[in-house]
Amino acid sequence: MSNTNPLLDVTGLTKHFPVMGGFPFKRKIGAVQAVDGLDFQVAEGESLGLVGESGCGKSTTGRLITRLLEPTGGSIKYRGQDITHAGRKQLAPVRSEIQMIFQDPYASLNPRQTVGKIISGPMEINGINPPGGHEKRVRELLETVGLNPEHYNRFPHEFSGGQRQRIGVARALALEPKLIVADEPVSALDVSIQAQVVNLLQELQQDLGIAFVFIAHDLAVVRHFSQRVAVMYLGKIVEIADREDLYDNPRHPYTRALLSAVPEATADDIPARERIRLTGDVPSPLNPPSGCRFRTRCWKATEKCATEAPPLVQVAGNKEGHLTACHYPETHDTVPAPRLSKDVAA
């Protein structure tokens, strides 16, 4: 990873959604701390995976990067240019370089527009007239994503889920972006179709050199697709590392627990990794635990964890670029976690 000139540089990114309530006049009574102080970079042509469970803020992060949401704090720099609070006009050229692929291939395509219209939409909005006209370009794009160019005049309902997701990919490619934010692009698809779309995205990343922020909850898919992976928990990055480091040498207890919870399709009697069973649920981001946010479910938590939030640093034993936010990072020979009693979680 080259830190010299990252494509995207995010520091201290924060998004708090106000919660309104009270009677008779509504006022702010709290804030959902969806994303709270994220630092990460994405290099050109690199894929960064964001993983975490529901409510950890990974989708919010994607929406902040694409500026579909206004950040509460922190900064987002794209190619050195600060776009944190950039206005519409200033954003326009950046937006054509940062595109998004959405999760739901049914909801993210306008049912009343033809495929041709959907894919050429971004070009029209940005006033781009490719040589040979829009139609020629759209046909090329359809071919790139593995669809029949003859289907130019069809409507989304005539396609299956996997094909629709390909249309979404073609639309994202229309402006030749440098960065694509893909928010759970394959989770709505059947296993066999999922693999088709993952392979397509991987080819695009390699052939066109597009950088990706790949948001997913499926750790195996992220491992397959992203060179660098960040694990999020309750609005914070708890661990970020190169793929091999993260999966082979997880240092944060949460990363370890998350990996051990993934069922693997093997029929071995001995599981590949020791099982760590977390109890309870993720606490509410409305009122996150003090100190380390994972401490309420962590088997290692002490007083220190409750008072002091661990910084995201390169802890001893980590390779270059492997950052962990934990006071008591895991080591390879750590004794497997005991099952927590149920009252701890309550």
Partner 1 sequence: MTSTDQQPFLSVRDLKVHFSTEDGVVKAVDGLSFDLAKGKTLGIVGESGSGKSVTNLTILGLHDRDRTSIDGEILLDGKELLTASERELEQLRGNKMSMIFQDALASLSPYHTIGKQIGETYRKHTGASKKEARERAIEMLRRVGIPQPDVRVDDYPHQFSGGMRQRAMIAMALVCDPELLIADEPTTALDVTVQAQIMDLLKDLQQEFGTAIIFITHDLGVIADIADDVLVMYGGRCVERGTKKEVLRAPQHPYTWGLLGSMPSLEGPVDVPLSPIPGSPPSLLNPPSGCRFHPRCTFAEKVQGGLCSTEQPLLDITDGRGSACHLTDDQRREFFADYAATRSH
Q: Interface with partner 1 includes 207 (CB under 8 A)?
A: no
Binds partner 1 by CB under 8 A, chosen from 86, 128, 193, 306: 193
Report in angstroms how near the CB of residue 46 gets to partner 1 at its nearest: 14
For partner 1, the closer of residues 27 and 342 by Cβ is 342
In which residue are the tokens 């950890």 written? 56
Q: Interface with partner 1 includes 3 (CB under 8 A)?
A: no
Binds partner 1 by CB under 8 A, chosen from 110, 199, 290, 331: 199
Alpha-carbon span 235 to 38, nearest angstrom: 8
For partner 1, the closer of residues 9 and 184 by Cβ is 184
Contact 252, 335 (CB under 8 A): no
Cβ contacts of 220-227, under 8 Å, gap ≥ 24: 220/262, 221/186, 221/194, 222/49, 222/51, 223/49, 223/247, 224/198, 225/47, 225/49, 225/198, 225/201, 226/47, 226/48, 226/49, 227/46, 227/47, 227/48
Q: Interface with partner 1 includes 249 (CB under 8 A)?
A: no
Peptide bond into 24 cis (omega under 30): yes
Q: Interface with partner 1 includes 234 (CB under 8 A)?
A: no
For partner 1, the closer of residues 66 and 163 by Cβ is 163
Residue 340 CB-density burial (10 A; 0-12 exposed, 13-18 middle, 19+ buried):
middle
Alpha-carbon span 320 to 212, nearest angstrom: 21
Q: Interface with partner 1 includes 231 (CB under 8 A)?
A: no
Report in angstroms how near the CB of residue 342 gets to partner 1 at its nearest: 6
Q: Interface with partner 1 includes 79 (CB under 8 A)?
A: no
Binds partner 1 by CB under 8 A, chosen from 11, 196, 314, 318: 196
Binds partner 1 by CB under 8 A, chosen from 79, 151, 154, 224: 224
Binds partner 1 by CB under 8 A, chosen from 50, 142, 237, 257: 257
Contact 2, 24 (CB under 8 A): no
Binds partner 1 by CB under 8 A, chosen from 24, 87, 266, 333: 266
Binds partner 1 by CB under 8 A, chosen from 68, 92, 313, 345: 345
Choices 33-41, 67-75, 278-286, 317-325 (CB under 8 A): range interacting with partner 1: 278-286
Binds partner 1 by CB under 8 A, chosen from 25, 27, 54, 80: 54
Q: Which two tokens stand for residue 178?
A: 């440098």
Residue 160 sits at φ, ψ, to 5 deg, of -80, 170
Q: How many CA atoms lie within 13 A of 224 on its CB side?
A: 17
Q: Interface with partner 1 includes 275 (CB under 8 A)?
A: yes
88-147 residues near partner 1, rule: CB under 8 A: none
Q: Interface with partner 1 includes 264 (CB under 8 A)?
A: yes
Choices 21-29, 84-92, 111-119, 154-162 (CB under 8 A): range interacting with partner 1: 154-162
Q: Interface with partner 1 includes 278 (CB under 8 A)?
A: yes
* Interacting residues toward partner 1 by CB under 8 A: 53-54, 160-163, 190-196, 198-199, 202, 217-221, 223-224, 243-244, 247, 257-267, 272, 275, 277-282, 342-343, 345-346
